[in-house]
Amino acid sequence: MKPRFTPLIEIETYLKSETGKKAIFSLSKYIPEMESEFQRIKKAIHFDLTEEALLKYVDFDELRPNLQIDINISGLLVDFDPLTWIEGLELLDGIRKHQAVNQIKVCKLMTVIIKRDAQESGYFDKELKKGTFVWLLKNLCI
């Protein structure tokens, strides 16, 4: 499915529109399911897992395709060049710690993930299993 991108200069208006609010709401339904999976792992293994271990044990095989489709059709992806956005790349690569980010940055970060996944197969899944989408969606749904 081809992603639907909103121009960067229009994303703020889109987020405030009824269509944008509905898109955000449609993604919020994934938060409890993702959190539940992370809790399942935490209960089974009583210590923090490394990123590599999370990739092995976390199971989002049923959730991933629907989430990816919903993100692609949401209009929340931004039409911009992600390679020029150093802050976003550093957040995703773990150089900068995850912090509170505004809705526009969430949209840009989701765009970076979608575009990287097109070039590096499995990147979306990796970010999903690391918990990046829980963090992003919680910041989006504020």
CB-based contacts of 47, cutoff 8 Å, min separation 6? none
List the domain boundaries for the chain.
5-140
Strand partners, 5: 77
Render pLDDT for 96-123 as a digit per residue (tens, 0 to 9).
888 889 999 999 999 999 999 999 999 9
102-123 per-residue burial string, b: 16 or more CB within 10 A, e: under 16: ebebbbbbbbbbbbbbeeeeeb
Alpha-carbon gap, residue 105 to 103, rounded angstroms: 5
- Is pTM beyond 0.75 here? yes
Alpha-carbon gap, residue 19 to 22, rounded angstroms: 5
